[in-house]
Amino acid sequence: NAGVTQTPKFQVLKTGQSMTLQCAQDMNHNSMYWYRQDPGMGLRLIYYSASEGTTDKGEVPNGYNVSRLNKREFSLRLESAAPSQTSVYFCASSEARQGAQYFGPGTRLTVL
């Protein structure tokens, strides 16, 4: 039982490049989330998927797209990376009713 896994752990991109961050959970949770963490800003929600087949914007969705591939997997795509997207990205999953979300180890992304 691995919980929430994320790949890659680290990534360096040049401005304008694209990439996809992968996330998978094995807890049979319905809801999945993508956050970014920046110094002094806490965790800010980028996109979420309340259930398989649905996705919605969070607080900071600009420059990102997501895909809920199946119940287990939720990917985050940067189509044209910008230096402002340098951050640490966390994926999480939950059974919405209980409230507690369980996080992956994060992806540290640097955009030059």
The contact set with another protein (CB under 8 A) reads 4, 31, 33, 35, 40-45, 48, 50, 56, 58, 90, 92, 94-97, 99-106
User: Which token pair is 72?
Assistant: 């287990």
The nearest distance, CB 107 to another protein, in angstroms, is: 10
Q: Which is nearer to another protein, 38 or 79 (CB)?
A: 38
Strands 107-111 and 74-78: unpaired
Looking at beta carbons only, is 12 or 96 nearer to another protein?
Answer: 96
What is the rounded end-to-end Cα distance, in angstroms, of the chain?
36
- Contact (CB, 8 A) for 33 and 21: no
- Nearest distance, CB of residue 112 and another protein, angstroms: 21
